[in-house]
């Protein structure tokens, strides 16, 4: 047992960049949408976010994630130069799940994340039937390249 630990420590000293990259998903698109947490949810299972000047908690476990994405469409943000808003197009099974989620959770917020960065949270005010969600104001040129490698999509340039 000590030999294994010693060997691992020796390898980590020789190849520190391998330790740093362990578990890294650089170059892969990460898309997720998280529902607003309930008051009774464990603090370990939520993360905080400022929404309209108010601190809200969102569930760490996403309702919609990368495996549910069929494609995307990028549009230049009207608020920030060099930033894009991303319309995420869902697979049919995820689209049906989104219909149920948005029907049941009206009045709650849903936060978006792209490659680990949180976008703006949106209020669920109606059932979403078209199978698309938007990540507002976080995508840059590097994100567009990552998305292009992962999914079919388009980029609209003005």
| H-run or E-run covering 34 | strand 31-35
Task: Please provide residue 113's backbone torsions phi and psi, each rounded to the nearest 5 degrees.
Answer: -135, 140
Domain ranges of the chain: 28-155
The pLDDT value recorded for residue 21 is: 38
Q: Round to whole Å and give the CA distance between 121 and 123.
A: 7
Residues facing 34 on adjacent strands: 111
Reported as a single tens digit per residue, the pLDDT across 65-112 is 999 999 999 999 888 888 999 999 999 999 999 999 999 999 999 999
Q: Which of 29, 146, 149, 153 is nearest to 87 (CA)?
A: 153
Closest CA to 48 of 98, 104, 109: 109
**In the predicted model, is pLDDT for residue 28 greater than 70?**
yes
pLDDT tens per residue, range 115-152: 989 988 999 999 999 999 999 989 998 999 999 988 88
Instruction: Answer yes or no: CATH 3.30.70.1450 is held by domain 28-155.
Output: no
pLDDT at 121: 93
Q: How far apart are CA 57 and CA 40, in angstroms?
A: 11
Beta partners for 71?
89, 152
Distance (Å, whole) CA 61 – CA 48: 13
User: Do the beta carbons of residue 86 and residue 141 sit within 8 Å?
Assistant: no
Task: Indicate whether 18 pLDDT > 70.
Answer: no
| pLDDT confidence band for 13 (50 / 70 / 90) | very low
């Amino acid at each position: 047992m000590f030999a294994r630990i010693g060997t691992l420590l020796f390898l980590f000293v020789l190849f520190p960049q391998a330790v740093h990259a362990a578990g890294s998903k650089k170059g892969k698109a990460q898309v997720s949408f998280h529902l607003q947490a309930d008051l009774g949810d464990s603090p370990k299972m939520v993360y905080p976010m400022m929404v309209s000047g108010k601190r809200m908690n969102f569930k760490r476990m996403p309702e919609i994630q990368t495996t549910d994405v069929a494609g995307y469409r990028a549009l230049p943000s009207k608020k920030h130069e060099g930033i894009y808003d991303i319309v995420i197009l869902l697979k049919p099974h995820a689209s049906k799940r989104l219909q149920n989620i948005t029907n049941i959770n009206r009045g709650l917020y849903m936060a978006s994340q792209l490659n680990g960065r949180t976008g703006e949270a949106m209020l669920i005010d109606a059932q979403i039937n078209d199978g698309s969600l938007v990540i507002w104001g976080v995508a840059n040129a590097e994100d567009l390249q990552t998305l292009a490698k992962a999914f079919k999509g388009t980029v609209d340039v003005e």
